[in-house]
Amino acid sequence: MPFNQKQQKGYNGNTAVKVAGEQHQYTLEEIKDFQKCMTDPSYFINNFVKIVNIDKGVIPFKTYEFQDRIIKAITDNRFTICKLFRQSGKTTVVSAYCLWFALFHSNKEVMILANKLATSLEIMSRIVFSYESLPDFLKWGVKEYNKSSITFENGSKIKCQATSASAIRGRSVALLIIDEFAFLNKDLAEEFIASSFPALSSSSESKLVLISTPFGLNHFYKIWHNSEQGLNNFVRVEGKWQEARTQEWYEEQCKLLGYDKVKIAQEIECVVGDTLITVRNDDSGEIFTLPIEKFYNWLPV
């Protein structure tokens, strides 16, 4: 990373944030690590990204196998759809990947959208924390730095906002992340798909990542199902709770969900349409088994 002769340290008094043009004298070991990080996001994330653990405080980010699959799928493909259980760490891995992408690609725009502005801001806050925790030799200086936008001196930007039909209209987005895509309002999701997917598809390099816990058989399910049928170009990645959590965790989540079989199947098991569930008719008391797809078809719209 080239720097000019400016001597100012820190951005607006924050010494963890480099000012554009701030110098760094590289060691041979740092140059080797920089080169590895440039070509391998997993190496960057597992060796240099730090996160806040609710029990342990600040710790190095060590990815689970399904998170490695997400990283590889996004890196190798333009369209990725990720179906993950609740509390899977999806926000953490997405934020780390966005940081890597912006730091090691020049003049690229990363856009993070979510069903709620607060959710996208949470992802940005994790990006900010991870950036500030990096060693200096991996940091670009910044030109803009606030809670919803970062512009690095390499010309790359990371922005976040709530999903809207016009969120990326007129923008040249290189990496678009949509978190909790299944939880978008049906009409908004359809408007966004109609207005944004064609624009992204017209580019030969832009990447689109849909990531969510399932929420019924809606637009997210349809894209996933169509991918299984070979009707779109999305590459599927699924994370199972058994890959990252214990049986005790599973039982605690079931308790928190009130032992609601549909919610458990949806939010923890990440079921598909033909998965059998057992339900009880509140009026007759009858208990029977049916595919979850049939159950959803009975629900009022």
- Tokens 């710790």 belong to which residue? 59
Q: Where are the domains of the chain?
A: 28-239
For the domain covering 28-239, report its CATH number. 3.40.50.300
Specify the pTM: 0.85
pLDDT means per 10 residues, the chain with 301 residues, are 51 89 92 97 97 90 96 96 90 95 96 90 94 96 94 96 77 90 88 80 85 87 91 94 91 89 81 58 68 52 37
Please return the burial class of 68, using the count of CB atoms within 10 Å of its CB with bins 0-12, 13-18 and 19+.
middle
Residues annotated as catalytic are: 180
How do residues 102-153 score in pLDDT, each as one tens digit?
999 999 999 999 888 898 999 999 999 999 999 999 999 999 999 999 999 9
Helix H, strand E, coil C: the string for 154-183 is CCCEEEEEECCCCCCCCCCCCEEEEECHHH
Nearest alpha carbon to residue 243 among 93, 139, 137, 136 = 93
The vertex-201 CA angle with 197 and 205, nearest 5°, equals 125
Predicted confidence (pLDDT) per residue in 4-21, tens digit: 434 457 888 898 999 998
Nearest one of 68, 103, 66 to 83, comparing CA atoms: 66
pLDDT number for residue 293: 57
In 134-236, which residue ranges form alpha helices assigned H by DSSP?
186-202, 219-228
pLDDT score at 279: 59
Mention every residue, 6+ apart, whose C-beta is less than 8 A from residue 195: 165, 166, 169
Find residue 59's DSSP bridge partners: 51
